Structure 1
Amino acid sequence: MALAMASLSLGLHMNSIPIFSSFFVPLSNGVLVKNSFGLGTKRFYVIPKERLLSSVTTFIPRALSSTALEDGSNSDTEIIPTPKVIIDQDSDPDATVVEITFGDRLGALLDTMNALKNLGLNVVKANVYLDSSGKHNKFAITKSDTGRKVEDPELLEAIRLTIINNLIQYHPESSSQLAMGTAFGALPPKQEIDVDIATHISIRDDGPNRSLLYVETADHPGLLVDLVKTITDINVAVESGEFDTEGLLAKAKFHVSYRGKALIKPLQQVLANSLRYYLRRPTTEEASF
């Protein structure tokens, strides 16, 4: 079921998506790159950070007090749950599955689904379930022009940042829990993640024709796109995967291959070294915001 409402907009320059002016997705340098994620190979344009800096200042989050009233709590000492956003490319062959968890605070998520529709997407709310970690909201996303799952790394990152931006707008208390609170929110995180300590990379065979790459690192805007670009720059194909945002950390699992085969040990080492260099180099933070 598609919901036809409208509100939030993103300043992306893509073939099938119009350009908006109120909120720019901060990815990396303004260059054309060629990447593969999902089923095909796409060319996409990444917005330079100068355009981001001129527009982020217009973001005004909803007042914290109103959110506290909506949630039925105004305690300054209550424990704020860790926000989680999972983008899953593996579990459904026909759709991109998104799962959002933030304790029991998220409500119906109608505004978030509206914002995703403005990206040219069909959004169907699948289910809501509750466990010890909170209320899990899962829904399926397809491209409205093709009816197929999202494959473009830039559009996947736009989905992630749209959700996080809406989360911060309607739940300002989440800003201090998310790395993106520095860029979009009124309350930046109280702690900073040491990238050298937080970064973990592992690669193992996942059958004869592909390998499984796992990356855990400090989150920042544009991370998903830059990870895929770093991988494909050494001619390793990204077939599918899952990208999780958990508070200040990002955790990515990619199925990768080289010429239709699993990565041999020397290439695994090259890939791991390339990712570590990208994630730990001093210019990473500056280029991402």
Structure 2
Amino acid sequence: MCASVDGVDSVGSMSLKSEQENDNVPMPIVLIDQDSDPDATIVQVSFGDRLGALVDTMKALKDLGLDVLKGTVSTENSVTQTKFFITRLATGRKVEDPDLLERIRLTIINNLLKYHPESSERLAMGEAFGIKPPEKKVDVDIATHIHVKEDGPRRSLLYIETADRPGLLLEMIKIMADVNVNVESAEIDTEGLVARDTFHVSYRGAALNSSLSQVLVNCLRYYLRRPETDEDSY
């Protein structure tokens, strides 16, 4: 009996230790900012206090045909934030191509998984490429929030929050193009399993009216929830 009780206590303590270890893994954040600097795209990466100089990340960005103009490192509330100011090497201008923006995002996440494998349990891509998939899944229906609001007479502000997955940015921009909505700039924010993206959008040089805003929201909501619906239908 004593051995049995000790065994239960041991299993319980191991389970508690595992939960504590999971809680100790910081939130990985990848932020792509198109608005703060007029001449460069800013890429910000943080993973608690575990990131180093990110030399490999700089090399990976250069391999994408990008020029890293400068980098800064700051610490706030024990979180080290590394920023890269980047432009396209061929033009010297900020990155505007959605495909390249998505490649930048995925490249940085891949580097996080490679050099900080413990991050896999806090990233959507950890499901397929990490050493440990996320234990907590994100419910797409609950996690998805889409809002459009005015941002002056010539553009609107579109906010999308949803479960992250590879290729998400490209698909969202394609949907906007399908309803003739132009993306003027974007801030791409990946926080763990969730994507929080903000777009400045317009329609023929003007802000979106209420009807077009509703069409856009409906199309995006349908697409973002569709993979879950398709799986359930089989």
TM-score range, shorter chain: 0.7 to 0.9
1:267-286 alignment runs, 5 A limit? 267-282=212-227
- Please, which of 121, 130, 135 is the counterpart of residue 190 of structure 1? 135
Match of 1:213 in 2: 158
Distance 1:78 1:270 in 2: 40
Mapped contact 1:278–1:284 kept (Cα < 8 A): no
Match of 1:52 in 2: none
Shift in alpha-carbon separation, 1:284–1:91, aligned structure 2, 3 A:
farther
Shift in alpha-carbon separation, 1:125–1:109, aligned structure 2, 3 A:
farther
Q: Which runs of 4 or more aligned residues in structure 1 lie more than 4 Å from their structure 2 counterparts after TM superposition?
A: 75-78, 283-286
Residue 104 of structure 1, CA deviation:
0.8
Residue 184 of structure 1, CA deviation:
2.0
Which residue identity lines up with residue 100 of structure 1 in the other structure? V
**What TM-score does the superposition give when structure 1 sets the normalisation length?**
0.71
Distance 1:174 1:239 in 2: 32
Residue 133 of structure 1, CA deviation:
5.5
Task: Name the count of aligned residue pairs.
Answer: 212
Distance 1:142 1:193 in 2: 33
Mapped contact 1:100–1:137 kept (Cα < 8 A): yes
Q: Which runs of 5+ in 1 are unaligned?
A: 1-74
Structure having the larger proportion of residues in helix? 2
Match of 1:107 in 2: 52
Shift in alpha-carbon separation, 1:76–1:202, aligned structure 2, 3 A:
closer
The Cα offsets for residues 31-85 of structure 1, whole Å up to 9 and x where unpaired, read as: xxxxxxxxxxxxxxxxxxxxxxxxxxxxxxxxxxxxxxxxxxxx94661110000
Q: Which runs of 5+ in 2 are unaligned?
A: 1-19
Distance 2:62 2:206 in 1: 37
Larger Rg: 2
Three-state SS of the structure 2 residue aligned to 1:207 is coil
Shift in alpha-carbon separation, 1:94–1:189, aligned structure 2, 3 A:
same
Mapped contact 1:179–1:247 kept (Cα < 8 A): yes
Distance 2:42 2:230 in 1: 29
Distance 1:176 1:249 in 2: 13
1:160 aligns with 2:116: no
Match of 2:42 in 1: 97
Kindly report the root-mean-square deviation, in angstroms, between the aligned alpha carbons of the 2 structures.
Answer: 1.6
Distance 2:194 2:21 in 1: 24
Distance 2:156 2:119 in 1: 35
